[in-house]
Structure 1
Amino acid sequence: MTTPENSDRLVFGCMGLGGAWDTSPLTAADIDVAAAAVEAAVESGITTFDHADIYRHGKSEAVFGEILARSAGLRERITLQTKCGIRLADGDRPGLYDLRGASIVRRVEESLHRLRTDVLDVLLLHRPDPLADPAEIGEALASLHRQGLVRRFGVSNMNAAQIARLQAHTELPLVANQLEMSLHRRAWLEDAVLVNTPESAANGFPAGTVEHCLTHGITLQAWGALAQGRYTGRQQTPQERATAALVASLAEAKGTTPETIVLRWLQRHPARVAPVIGTSNPDRIRACRDAALDEPGLSHEEWYTLWVTARGAALP
């Protein structure tokens, strides 16, 4: 079984599996679509699969559990990760965040049941809960670990201060932070170069978060890594078209796909970003194969040229 220390550099995001975003039952077609996507991911060298308890109202986990039940030996060859902490709207109750200790434990038990497995390799806390008691969270994580239900823990969509506060209340190392990061969503990167510029305050990304993760060995997982296809076929603005043309040119020169170039741009960062690909299209999954193999390389100049082209302006 792979671990965060030796897992591949690419993560398959399972949010697109499980049919409609409602509580209707899974269908045979839903299972076939999911099975084809998982097969394409495994064939492409991807062994880390990312879930959340809310995806498709739990059906993403449920359909994956069905695939595991039908695929002898698959569970032992993959890293299985899920998230909890978001509760969807229900009747008059709005959607909210819930990182109370008992809720974390209950959500993990429910995820294990849907996934048909005895243990999660990684559990991420999906969103910060302003009402959460970090000591209570720490106790819940310790209990899950002690019972052998979860091997490792991390967070999602949290800044450096939130991670540090939580880490202070648990002896278990936080191994991952999942953030939106892509060639299109670059606030995480712009933060590093906008210091002492008028644009700095408007950037909005929490300063020091990337550096905190680097310093403490916390893997950055990038959701939205393919930027919804903006540079691989769905470009709309002149800036996106110029970036897509550059991506295509680099892909042709390196004998790979545009999807790979977009992902390799993220992976080139010293934080060793692990992109999360969310497509369920087998062909598009296979187009990411080279990135799973950590190739081809991008030079210093090529990486910066992609950045400057995508931002549409010179660096400060």
Structure 2
Amino acid sequence: MALDALLTSAPQVASTLSRRGFLHMAGLGLLTAAAPAGVVRSAPAETWQARVAYSYGVKVRREPHLKGEELETLGHDALRTVQEVIVSEEPVHNRIWYRVGEAEYIHSGGLQPVATRFQMPLLSLPLNGALVDVSVPFTDMHTRPAFKASRTYRYYYSCTFWVGEIAEAEDGKIWYRIDDDRSHLSHWGLAEHFRPVPEHEMAPIAPELEPERKRLEVDLARQWVVAYQDDTPVFMSRASTGLTMGNGESMTPRGRHKVFYKRPSRHMAAGDSASDGYDLPGVPWCSYFTTTGVAFHGTYWHNDFGRPRSHGCINLPSEAARWVYRWTMPVVPAGEHLVKDNPGTRVVVT
């Protein structure tokens, strides 16, 4: 199947999407590619939610375009119900807008599609802990399993973490201890806000293929990633690669690489987060292909795929990053936190 065929066979946006379908399409970054300009997608009976992902907030406009009248600014982490999905004419790289009220529209780039799904707490843990993802828009972490304890971090929908301990508080609430893989400090959060990731969602995809039969191609100009088995494209996703440096080159290194280091969760941080730095716990589904730390990974701090945004990594919707994690080699053994120094799937960046 040619790449053009893969593009035209991408799942189409149905006239009425379920919340699960909406999250799936947003998670693959296909909403923009799947619909012609001007099409309005109706909201289903069940509600969709979106969280303001940008720290500086987002503009609510009267019309779904960048010159639409500004009505208000929503602050970081504000939640809104999505009533319709609009395919506008702009911006060109991401034409999706969400209607959140009567004549109230927000560009999707600054909104993370989220859900609220409370979980039954685990009663016990495997030897190496349990991998979980956040199943609510956000949850606040604490120094001890108590609401009155100092808050440490706020974790966001789709972030992944390893649970190291289960505790019951005096009020009967069950809490999980998350051991930070970067600082090695412990953070406690309500167990009902974390979903245990089932084994089938981490199982390798097409593991029977020899490593040389798989490759990932990253197109910096088009801002997309395509997976090939032999010469057949089997998966694609929009992406946000590295920003352009002063010399005109991308911060994502061009050339031929190999995935050699993978982990389902990583606390990524560098520099001063008040300026150009970042501090991002629980980055999901990381597949590294350079020794300087460039990786494919999930993204919860923006939803604006289709243009360069990163310090070099390949930002993907989290569902797409999980597919890449499962499909690429080397394989992380079940229950293990990572695999390293084991070159596997080829990566070609052009």
Q: Is the structural similarity TM-score above 0.5?
A: no
More helix by share: 1
Higher relative contact order (CA 8 A, sep 6+): 1
TM-score by length of 2: 0.26
